[in-house]
A and B are shown apart, each in its own frame.
Chain A
Amino acid sequence: MPELPFPLPPLPTVAQVVFILIAVLAVIGSLMVVLARNLFHSALGLVAAFFGAAGVYIVAEAEFIGVSQVLVYVGAISTLITFAIMLTRGMMFGATSPRNRQSGTAAIITVLAFVVLAAVLQAIPWPQVGEPITDGQVIIAGLGYAFVNQYVVPFLLLAMLLLVALAGAIMLARDRK
C-alpha cells in the first residue's frame, strides 16, 4: 500500500454500506417527490421513499414496523394517492411548472433548515452503540402486551379515530346526485 500523507478513514462495515444504499433510495425518492413535473412520477418517488423508510426500519431491527410500513403506506396510502391523482386529473403533462408563487422563499427556508439540522445532529455526541437485541419475537410479544396493558386507551381511541375517518371520508367523497 503506498504511503498517503493523510490517514485513511475507516472503511464502512457491511451494515453501514447497506444503510447507505437504502438511504440513497430514500433520498432519490424524496427528491423525485419534490422535483418531478409529472405528478405520477412524484407518487412513484413517494413509493420509493416509503420503501427506503421500511429498509431503514429493518436495518434498525424494528422488523414489525418495517413490514407494517410496507403494508400500510405502500399498500394502502400510495394506492389512495394514485387514485386521487387519476380522479382529479392533476397536471400530468408538465407544461407548467409544479411550483407555486412562494416556492423561492420555501426553497431558501428548507435548505437553511436542513443545513442547520444536519450541522447540529453531526455535532452532538450520541450514544455509540445500543444494547444488542437478542430475540426479535420477544419484541413483537412486548408490542402486543404494551398495546393492551399500558397503551390500551390510546389504542381504543385510535380504533375510533380510524372508524370516524373511514365514515367521514366516505361521506365527503360521496357522489351527491
Chain B
Amino acid sequence: MVPLSWFLILGAFMFSSGLFAALGRRNAIAVLMGIELMLNAANINLVAFWRYGVTPMQNLDGQIFALFVIAVAAAEVAVGLALIISVYRNRRTVNLDDLDILKG
C-alpha cells in the first residue's frame, strides 16, 4: 500500500510549484498555469484522503469534491483566458509587469 504521506508530499510539491509560477512569472498565462497546478494538488489531497478514510465505499465525499473542483477549474480557465485575450487586444501585451495602470 502506498503510504498516505507520499500522496500528500506530492500534492505539497505540486502546490509549491504552482505557487511559484503564480507569484513569480511574468506572463499572465503562466500565472494561470500555476493556478491550475495548485488546483490539481488540492485534488490529489482530496482523493488521497478519500481513499484512506474510514469507509471509502460508502463515503464518497472526497471524490465528489474533486469532481466539483475539476469542473469549476474548467469554467475558471475559460473565463480567465477570455480575459487575457481581451487584455491582449487592448494593450497588445500579456506581460504582467506592463499591466500596472491601477498601481498607486
A-B contact count (CB 8 A): 254
A161 and B75 contacting across the interface, CB-CB below 8 Å = yes
Contacting A39 at CB < 8 Å: which of B27, B36, B48, B96?
A: B27
A: contact size bracket: 35 or more
> For residue B68, which residues in chain A have a CB less than 8 angstroms away from its CB?
154, 158
> For residue A53, which residues in chain B have a CB less than 8 angstroms away from its CB?
14, 40, 43-44
- Distance between A106 CB and nearest chain B CB, rounded to angstroms: 4
Contacting B13 at CB < 8 Å: which of A109, A114, A128?
A: A114
A168-B82 contact, Cβ under 8 Å, with A100-B97, A151-B64: yes
B16 and A57 contacting across the interface, CB-CB below 8 Å = no
The proximity string for B residues 49-63 relative to A, scoring 1 for CB distances below 8 Å and 0 otherwise, is 011111111101001
Complex Cα spacing A172 to B80, Å: 10
Complex Cα spacing A53 to B37, Å: 10
- Distance between B67 CB and nearest chain A CB, rounded to angstroms: 6
A173-B82 contact, Cβ under 8 Å, with A64-B63, A65-B63, A122-B9: yes
* New A-B contacts (7) at CB < 8 Å, excluding given A80-B77, A109-B23: A34-B24, A65-B43, A76-B74, A88-B85, A98-B30, A106-B24, A170-B82
> Nearest 10 CB-CB pairs, A to B?
A103-B24, A165-B75, A106-B24, A106-B23, A30-B17, A114-B16, A172-B82, A169-B82, A117-B12, A173-B82
